[in-house]
Structure 1
């Protein structure tokens, strides 16, 4: 058995012996008081006092260790909480940046679509104007071709009806 355990047991044993001494002491008539041997009681109290400082020292040591562990646990908990807050802040910050980037990307895509739609409309309008001008030019050329063919036909008809008109140059264009 260790010395500490023996001292703990000896303190309990000393207190039990003191209790036995008081309970077996002679009672005083007409009183709750008892007669005890002063020397025996003082010897038991001295023994208990001798054992008690070691136990108090050990108890103080246990309490001090417990305080030290508690302080260390509090510091570690504080550090963990601070790290968690920092990570949470970083994640919130990153999420905010991501959300802003997504919003900006959507805005850019929307602007690009609008620009593409505008360019497409402008290209369609340009093509329509060019085709309209081409149609006007073709109609003009077609009219000129039709007029040229009509003159050619008139001339060929005129030759077939009067062959003698050509030498005097009366109807040449």
Structure 2
């Protein structure tokens, strides 16, 4: 029988016992019956107490194992978090560095385009000036040739006269 049931049985024995005359708190119980019930309770209690102690010890072991497992999981989680943060920081840093390099490359390409444009513009301006002078010289030469032809000095025997230009 369960020790709690034994205790309930003992309480019932006391509640059903006859009262001692002229006493409110005293009662008469069968001594032999009460001692037998208490002996049975005493015999059952050590086994139940050992089972309870074993259960408490097993509970403590399970809780300790659970705590170790929780600590391990937390530690692994923190390590993974640190790794991911590190990877993320590296990624962010690499993205910033890549953006900086691209911006520098674009700025350098723009600067080079402007330099090339300036060089080509200067070269074309110089060539334009050369061509303008050459055209002016050609035009002057043609004008002289036309003027000489009109006055008649350019005709006839060319071997005797030097060319005007």
- Which structure is higher in helix share? 1
| CA-CA distance at 1:154 after TM superposition | 4.4
- Superposition RMSD on alpha carbons, in Å? 2.3
Structure with larger RCO (C-alpha < 8 A, sep 6+): 1
* TM-score between both structures, scaled by the size of structure 1: 0.80
Select 1:54's aligned residue among 39, 47, 56. 47
| Structure 2 equivalent of residue 3 of structure 1 | none
1:145 corresponds to 2:138:
yes
SS of 1:172's partner is coil
Runs (5+) with no aligned partner, structure 1? 1-6
Supply the distance in 1 between the matched residues of 2:99 and 2:52 (Cα, whole angstroms).
Answer: 69
Supply the distance in 2 between the matched residues of 1:109 and 1:18 (Cα, whole angstroms).
Answer: 91
User: For 1:71-82, what aligned pairs fall within 5 Å after superposition?
Assistant: 71-82=64-75
* TM-score between both structures, scaled by the size of structure 2: 0.83
Runs (5+) with no aligned partner, structure 2? none
| Structure 1 equivalent of residue 61 of structure 2 | 68
C-alpha distance after superposition, 1:140-167 (max 9, x if no partner)? 222232233334334543144xx4xx48
Runs of 4+ in structure 1 off by over 4 angstroms are: none
